[in-house]
Structure 1
Amino acid sequence: MYPGTHALTNPDRPALIMTATGEVVTYGDLEDRSRRIANWLSDAGLRVGDVVGLLSDNSSWVFEIYWATQRSGLYLMPINYRLSASEVDYMLENSGAAALFVGRGAVETVSRLGAHPKLKRRVCLHEELAGYDSYNQILKSARTDAPSSQPRGADMLYSSGTTGRPKGVKHALPQRDVSEAGDTMVQMFSSSFGFDENTIYLSPAPLYHAAPLRTCATVQALGGTALVMDKFDAEAALAAVQDYKVTHSQWVPTMFVRMLKLPESVRHQYDVSSLKVAIHSAAPCPAEIKQEMIQWWGPILWEYYSSTEMNGMTVIGSEEWLKKPGSVGRAVLGKIHICDEEGNELPAGETGVIYFEREKMPFIYHDEPEKTQAAQHPAHPYWTAVGDIGRVDADGNLFLTDRKAFMIISGGVNIYPQEIENVLVVHPSIADVAVIGIPDPDMGEQVKAVVQLTPGIEDSDSLAQEIIAFVKARVASYKAPRSVDFVPEVPRSQTGKLMKQELRKRYWPEKTA
């Protein structure tokens, strides 16, 4: 399914609403504009399998371009508009992008981009820019006839690069027309979370990341309405739920933390009773935070664990989670295997690398055969891992431990930072926290907490000692931080993922950071 299906029956239904401005894009609008852009891309010489870059903030034209590529057999490559010119250059060069669309906030960046001779066309979405086609002029002049062939495209997202240089995650193009059923996300979200044509979905995260982009597109494929915020704001998000009678939403744990830390009088002035499903993903949610959210919103919280690679997926609802706190659920896509470093499968309850088994290789890293091979099990090529560590209980429920790259080894003992972060995030003086390993001449590594304090709280040596004692009272003392550093802000991506590589650079020699 795709929006054109719904444009025929409900052309005036909102496919997209921008909450900051109230701008509405109907299914009729989305069909017309995506058709025009698809025709223009074809006339510009792009062919099935080519890559289209999109460097933009959250705007309505994101989905006009998205659906233009998806009905043309093209790969859409959303790019974080906050990246440096050199980082954007790398993605354009590595992907071999044939076209680039540029939105607000990225004009200064693109002025410093390299030549990129493979780029056939460059388009500016909102203003005149030398060397770039005008998006508005394209919409006015492009052909409006329906393409005779509409092969389904795909996205090509680059990993966030939290542990190294980003990798282009590439899936094989579906061998079918865009109007035909078969999308994994549509199947998963309709069956697991009840998405349908009546869904009013709130997306508070940046669209250049996998979950927000794919989920909004899923809503549009099913005929619902996607509400997109320019950026996350705790109170504005609650207001959107109330004002638009939101039925479904998706969050990351840091958003829950920020909403919970609003004053009680602010939190409870908004009616969130329209919410049927509140999904969270992207990072493990501390158990205490999730319990507080369930107490506030009711047992409507659902969690899924997956990745940009979509090599597998687990799902768990509130009622099951309350029986198994900390679990991310059972597999609904792929079969889970927990293996040690040599690839030997481990029994239930033991911690190791998480692999998902599929019937075929679900992805590759573009132009990175060695990294693709490294993601595959040494004996089972269709078992793939993305670097997460966890365990499965006897009932098949998965529990995440941490990223393999973030594990701290101190005196030969494995310490998982996520466990300590889950303790610290509920400390009343802490707004955000990251736990990392830093060099230690005797132990190899020692545990350090990097803390962002709640506004109005002053850092001090006594507060640092209080924080360390807070951890020791809740987990084994050897896991507690040996030291605490206070920072103005803990670095996170806009989807809430800790950018630990940035922190490690401050403490480790350059060659080992």
Structure 2
Amino acid sequence: MGWMKDETGLGKCAANYVPLTPLSGLNRARDVFPDHLAVAHGPHRKTYREYHDRVTRLASALAAIGVQPGDVVSTLLPNIPAAAEAHFGVPACGAVLNSINTRLDVHTVAYILDHAEAKVLLVDTEFLPLAKAACETMEGTAPAIIEVADPAHGHPATGRHTEYETLLAGADATFAWILPEDEWESIALNYTSGTTGHPKGVVYHHRGAYLNAMGQVLSWRMVLHPVYLTIVPLFHCNGWCHTWMMPMIGGTLVCCRDITAPNIFNAIADEGVTHFGGAPIVLNMLVNAPERERRAFDHTVQVFTAGAPPAPATLARIEPMGFNVTQVYGLTEVYGPATECLWDHARWDGLQGSERAAIKARQGVAMPFNEHVTVMDETMARIPMDGETQGEIMIRGNGVMKGYLKNPDATAEAFKGGYFHSGDIAIQHPDTYVQITDRAKDIIISGGENISSVEVEGVLMHHPAVNLAAVVARPDEKWGEVPCAFVELLDGATADEAEIIAFARQGLAGFKTPKQVVFQELPKTSTGKIQKFALRKLARSL
């Protein structure tokens, strides 16, 4: 018998096993980088010692007002320090963080608060009207509101609710963090964009959050003390886990509340930003910024972009400006980025123009924390890696969600066959690189935000003059894609474009509202199904 056959005394114990959690990164950073700048937001500048203290006070304050382990704490916050602190402070009291998209409409926010059974809601004062209206619309018990002021950026306290800084000031700075006993415990709850009706609650565990954050350090080839600009909303896949990543390498988190070209250039020039993530719309914004909005800088900024491949013209213009762009791909269900277009210098350094852009537009290969990313057909067989055959992107590994909250059927369907089914159609090249060719379920990706055509169509169909409505993506120079509605009116009814758009805006968030309405008879199959492929072709020609 080989010696490893006998493992007597080799079990897990406190000395050799600690559940993985990204919270450990901030505990370490407090000791290793105590005086290094951790968070910057205008005059708000906190070291890791101060960052850790504020997070501890937040955890203490939440526990003091009745938040118990397993409870949900929601937020309606832009990219400000409180949003970053919540990523550590909420789980440090044993609760689950639910960061809500500030661009959503009242009814969707109300649904999320109800479905999540949120106990507390941290709200930036800019979004208090949205929060109050959502709470009044809820069917269940509304969460307690804590308002977060940002006076340096024009959003002072209202005095109508307990204010965040007051809450922290009265909290216990010696509060003992409640770390997970099991790394499978939930750390965050994120909601999808509702591509098939109500949004689904995607549950993350501590293990996945830790491994995603650590794995992206490798993918981004980061060294100590990067300076990261928060362009990806912290409510979107928890900012792609980048907030949890920063303490691991003593990085500085530079908050960007309002995403504008001047704010980005100023942060790069003044704070020395080295990394940021964002949708291609951000790249277009920088490329098209007038000279008066630009600032000079003398270093290369590393950029992760996702949502849609950047246009070749954009890549050709932005890289000489000092940005190195890497395409990544993922979904809410996989903690944000799951694949990367890892650049092969030996093969591709000599490429220029459209050839270079074509490679950069690929979604690439699995990031280090995922076990396997592949493309399969409907029988769960891998497609030929010939760059032509199409299938669905499938993902397996520790970077996949626990499942959908209170929806076991949807969870089982998503995990059928032992892989997460992305719903995205792709080819796979001979070098294993994945490339999306189409989007399942007619999802429109506008400025990095997913829009359900089904949801928009459902709103349009409530207009008294509308017989049928179909919504598809129309290419847009600024946003990448925008919703374009094709409407078939009832016999004898009348309506114009402005009326339809105004009607849609009453029931949808602004970014989901159609930007163009075309009135015509909709093309249909013999069984009455609307031929969206024909409408997509028509939309591209508008």
Alpha-carbon distance in structure 1 between the residues aligned to 2:327 and 2:366: 12
Alpha-carbon distance in structure 2 between the residues aligned to 1:501 and 1:165: 17
Say which structure is richer in helix.
2
Identity of aligned residues (%): 20
Which SS does the other structure have where 2:224 is aligned? coil
| Residue 12 (structure 1) shift | 2.8
Alignment of 1:324-403 (within 5 A): 324-332=359-367, 333-341=370-378, 343-348=380-385, 349-358=388-397, 362-377=401-416, 380=417, 382-403=418-439
TM-score (norm. length: structure 1): 0.74
The question of whether the paired residues in 2 share the 8 Å contact of 1:434 and 1:498 is answered with no
Residue of structure 2 in register with 1:168 after alignment: 201
Match of 1:8 among 31, 36, 45: 31
Residue of structure 1 in register with 2:452 after alignment: none
* 2:253 partner letter: A
Matched, 1:155 2:155: no
Match of 1:109 among 91, 112, 130: 130
| Residue 278 (structure 1) shift | 1.9
Alpha-carbon distance in structure 2 between the residues aligned to 1:89 and 1:440: 32
* 1:363 partner letter: K
User: CA deviation digits over 1:311-362, x for unaligned, max 9?
Assistant: 7721124555838353121112232232334544422231122111337964
Alpha-carbon distance in structure 2 between the residues aligned to 1:253 and 1:498: 19
| Residue 234 (structure 1) shift | 1.5
Q: Larger deviation: 221-230 or 143-152?
A: 143-152
The question of whether the paired residues in 2 share the 8 Å contact of 1:162 and 1:498 is answered with no
| Residue 388 (structure 1) shift | 1.4
Residue of structure 1 in register with 2:63 after alignment: 42
The question of whether the paired residues in 1 share the 8 Å contact of 2:233 and 2:239 is answered with yes
The question of whether the paired residues in 2 share the 8 Å contact of 1:241 and 1:274 is answered with no
The question of whether the paired residues in 2 share the 8 Å contact of 1:375 and 1:384 is answered with yes
| Residue 390 (structure 1) shift | 1.0
Alignment of 1:283-322 (within 5 A): 283-297=308-322, 300-310=324-334, 313-317=338-342, 319=345, 320=348, 322=356
Residue of structure 2 in register with 1:76 after alignment: 97
Alpha-carbon distance in structure 2 between the residues aligned to 1:279 and 1:87: 29
Distance of aligned partners of 1:225 and 1:50 in 2 relative to their CA distance in 1, 3 Å threshold: same
User: CA deviation digits over 1:177-204, x for unaligned, max 9?
Assistant: xxxxx81222222111133431011122
Which SS does the other structure have where 1:208 is aligned? coil
The question of whether the paired residues in 1 share the 8 Å contact of 2:309 and 2:362 is answered with no
Alignment of 1:216-295 (within 5 A): 216-263=243-290, 265-266=291-292, 270-295=295-320
Distance of aligned partners of 1:276 and 1:375 in 2 relative to their CA distance in 1, 3 Å threshold: same
Which SS does the other structure have where 2:130 is aligned? helix
Which SS does the other structure have where 2:85 is aligned? helix
User: CA deviation digits over 1:280-318, x for unaligned, max 9?
Assistant: 1233222332233234326x2222111211177211245
The question of whether the paired residues in 2 share the 8 Å contact of 1:169 and 1:308 is answered with yes
Residue of structure 2 in register with 1:473 after alignment: none
Match of 2:171 among 142, 150, 153: 142
Alpha-carbon distance in structure 2 between the residues aligned to 1:240 and 1:363: 36
Matched, 1:61 2:100: no
Alpha-carbon distance in structure 2 between the residues aligned to 1:84 and 1:407: 18
Alpha-carbon distance in structure 2 between the residues aligned to 1:172 and 1:211: 12
Gaps of 5+ in 2: 1-23, 150-156, 349-354, 445-471, 490-496, 523-528, 533-542
Residue of structure 1 in register with 2:451 after alignment: none
The question of whether the paired residues in 2 share the 8 Å contact of 1:389 and 1:402 is answered with yes
**Alignment size in residue pairs:** 433
Alpha-carbon distance in structure 1 between the residues aligned to 2:32 and 2:396: 40
| Residue 213 (structure 1) shift | 6.0
Alpha-carbon distance in structure 1 between the residues aligned to 2:55 and 2:511: 35
TM-score (norm. length: structure 2): 0.70
User: CA deviation digits over 1:86-110, x for unaligned, max 9?
Assistant: 2211001111112211212122123
Distance of aligned partners of 1:499 and 1:35 in 2 relative to their CA distance in 1, 3 Å threshold: same
Alpha-carbon distance in structure 1 between the residues aligned to 2:371 and 2:288: 37
Distance of aligned partners of 1:293 and 1:211 in 2 relative to their CA distance in 1, 3 Å threshold: farther
Alpha-carbon distance in structure 2 between the residues aligned to 1:371 and 1:249: 33
User: CA deviation digits over 1:57-108, x for unaligned, max 9?
Assistant: 2322112222111323321111123333322110011111122112121221
Q: Larger deviation: 362-371 or 160-169?
A: 160-169
Gaps of 5+ in 1: 176-181, 409-416, 442-449, 451-486, 492-496
Residue of structure 1 in register with 2:146 after alignment: 123
Alpha-carbon distance in structure 2 between the residues aligned to 1:117 and 1:129: 26
Alpha-carbon distance in structure 2 between the residues aligned to 1:407 and 1:50: 32
| Residue 174 (structure 1) shift | 4.2
Residue of structure 2 in register with 1:192 after alignment: 219
